[in-house]
Structure 1
Amino acid sequence: MSNLKASTDVLVVGGGMAGLAGALALRENGADVTLVEVAPAFGEVGAGLQMAPNASRVLKRWGLLEKALEIGVQPKHLVFRDAITGEELTRQTVGGEFEERYGAPYVVIHRSDLHRILLEACQEAGVTLVNDVLVQKVETDGDRARAYTAKGEVFEADAILAADGLKSTLRAIVASDGPVNSAYVAYRGTVPITEETPAADLEDVIVYLGPNCHLVQYPLRKGQLLNTVAVFKSPSFERGEEQYGGVDELQAAYKDCVPAVQEALKNLATGIRWPMYDRNPIETWVSGRMALIGDAAHPMLQYLAQGACQALEDAAVLQDAASNRVFTAEGIDAGAWEDAFREFNETRAARTARVQRTARIWGESWHVDGVARVLRNMLFKSRGDNNFQYNDWLYGRNEPGAPAEVPAGAKLVEA
């Protein structure tokens, strides 16, 4: 085949969080891994993200948690407040008993910093990284899979991971669906923390809940930056407009909020807004020698702060499944990829579907008004600190669909 570009054990399509995590996990198993990315250079846009213990445990497994802690922040509490009155509704201490219960810390980190940590880990592990590659089609034929690019190149592999995100092209192989418009958009911003920055709450993740809007603030980069995210229901996005020419919608959404929220809006970068989509859960992520991973498989709304977390969980579970079936003590059994992908799919699909659906419901509860808001506030205020009944299913170490516990830095099979 004259246009054959490369042959590899595993081809990963997409260089975001899920792609890098999947590439690293399988490389640690001993696979020859090639990752292709459509952008001319690797990088990640956005601002902060929250790494709950179910994700930081995965970083710990790969020996990367300390790097995240060196650049990230461990908040003391998660705090929810009413955006109209400013009253505190509930808080969760995320050190001490919380960290001990879940086996890892809660960390907030800049998206670009986590992406860099994963990218550098892939480079050090020996993953082949190729930029400026647009994969348009994947075909699986018996024991091989092929990815066809816009430039006419063909990448061949024993297995392919499709990590091409929310608007995945390769998802069409297993599902005929599309992104779902949530009617909500986000503006984000990071600003330096200075002496003029109000000292209150700089050690916490703060969420203000308002009718049809909310606002999140927390520190980044060892307390040097303040991250702010404003999310609100957008009439223009409901009409299908991803971008919008002014900030009148933003200002109108928060007009009744307390001064602390109004002041925080000044931290936002208003040149671009982030339309919020997800997709409906699907049961099947696999076609032959190709499997979806991350947002390509289960894009979710941001209310549980689990998008990147679930991508890392995916990679760890796939690592376990491939170790059990493909990369065995007897050697590499390339013919077992279908079984490994099936185990991965069956282990993960129900859990991520629950996260997707719960994120939608959680977001709805944040944005209610009237009697529903009164009842929501009463429920939140009835919850005491270190009440884990709402956290265990998501953060617990042994929940169905979570990765198996592996010592930090352990490799399942030597390359």
Structure 2
Amino acid sequence: MADILIAGGGIGGLAAALGLARRGHQVTVLERRDVFTEVGAGIQLGPNAFHALDLLGVGREVRERAVLIDELRFMDGITGERVAALPVTGKYRARFGNPYAVVHRVDLYLPLLEAARRSPGIELLGGCHVVAYEQWVGGVTAVLADGRRRTGDALIGADGLHSAVRRQLVGDGPPRISGHTIYRSVIPVEEVPEDLRGNTVVLWAGPKWHFVHYPVTGGRYFNLAATRDDGATQALAGVPAEHGHVRDSFPGLPGPARRVLELGRDWKSWVLCDRDPVDRWTEGRVALLGDAAHPMLQYAAQGACQALEDAVLLSVLLDGPEADFVQRLEKYNAARRERTARVQLVAREMGRVLYHAAGEARVERNAMLAALSDEDMYDKAAWLHGAYDFAWGDGN
């Protein structure tokens, strides 16, 4: 079996390490930070994520930390009226084979990290910032920021939105700044009025803004995420924001949503970024994965899900002789690029058409959503939430 290097020890990088180690490879994860950790707040996991997590051997652990959602609820952020709701229990779980859940990022990351630490085939190295690579017919070398070098049979760039591996492989410049700022806060659930709790993802959609809230960490905390299309031009990540600024940025929130927003504290802000889809993620023995390959906006709630799918398919396709790696990485690229490009573009469109519609477009959106039956909505979600066919690299 092969020695495989992974640049980046985030969700995608650790998932790839687990998948590859389960196929018998020796894997070295090179993480830029000194300590393997995860920051952020809540994220949503569709059934396709759990299909991948099960194949990686950590599905049970993530389910134990997650909140399994009963309903996705869409509210008009101007009138406060309930526009539509999608039940994600009985018929939904039967159709897609897994639940829809929400977790704090740490509650997805830690099961992956703990499994990686238990694996004799995985070496986790912190303080190893990959800035470039060199390759030849028989191998590849990861060049670190401090001048050290690590050599292996393949290199997987899972180093995120600002990937150095992508910069060398694709060379498409900095990420695209969406102009949307998101403010995030996590608060103890006991501070939330009982009538506003529940295993529900609630989205309040207004003109050029939206607000989402749901429980995380097994229901012990409540995740708040408020987003404005404010024309932001500078990419920021995790910057503290004053409570008064967040409150004043959403003056039109209806009463119940306003009550939840007012509870937020220790707000952090991010400016959302993505990239245009590209056809080529591979160069010889080097390939990209997750946000390094296909960073996407939050509106389809699929960023982590698609990285997990990448990791499983990559491990399936690299289950074989090291001599075939170049062709196998090309097959991985070909199998994943159409699906992930579609998710990237759909996420952008959802932000424009569903989340931030204004005026007559808002009225038309509400009418369209209200007219859909549960089965209609399941049909629309099937291409995305259905179990991905890792044997063939094609969705159901």
TM-score (norm 2): 0.93
What is aligned with 2:358?
369
The partner residue of 1:25 within 19, 23, 28 is 19
What is aligned with 2:8?
14
What is aligned with 1:192?
188
What is aligned with 2:258?
262
| Matched AA of 1:336 | D
The partner residue of 2:146 within 141, 147, 151 is 151
- For residues 5-404 of structure 1, the aligned pairs below 5 Å read 9-126=3-120, 127-177=122-172, 178-194=174-190, 197-235=193-231, 237-238=232-233, 250-323=246-319, 327=320, 333-365=321-353, 366-387=355-376, 388-397=378-387
* SS of residue matched to 1:152: coil
* SS of residue matched to 2:40: coil
Quick one: distance in 1 between partners of 2:234 and 2:162? 19
Quick one: distance in 2 between partners of 1:184 and 1:102? 32
Cα RMSD for the two superposed structures? 2.2
Q: Comparing 122-131 with 249-258, which one deviates more in the overlay?
A: 249-258
Q: Is the 8 A contact 1:233 1:253 kept in 2?
A: no
* SS of residue matched to 1:91: strand
Q: Is the 8 A contact 1:213 1:231 kept in 2?
A: yes
Q: Is the 8 A contact 2:243 2:267 kept in 1?
A: no
Quick one: distance in 2 between partners of 1:195 and 1:115? 26
| Matched AA of 1:370 | G
| Matched AA of 1:391 | A
The answer to which structure has the higher helix fraction is: 2
Q: Deviations over 1:82-114 (max 9, x none)?
A: 111111111111111111111111111110111
* SS of residue matched to 2:273: strand
* SS of residue matched to 2:48: helix
| 1:115 to 1:354, Cα distance in 2 relative to 1, 3 A | same
Q: Is the 8 A contact 2:31 2:125 kept in 1?
A: yes
* SS of residue matched to 1:389: helix
Q: Deviations over 1:162-201 (max 9, x none)?
A: 0110011110223222201111011111111117523334
Question: Percent identity over the alignment?
Answer: 35
Quick one: distance in 2 between partners of 1:79 and 1:402? 34
Q: CA deviation at 1:400?
A: 9.3
Quick one: distance in 2 between partners of 1:392 and 1:110? 25
Structure 2: segments with no counterpart, 5+ residues:
none
| Matched AA of 1:175 | V
| 1:400 to 1:352, Cα distance in 2 relative to 1, 3 A | farther
Quick one: distance in 2 between partners of 1:268 and 1:386? 35
| 1:195 to 1:15, Cα distance in 2 relative to 1, 3 A | closer
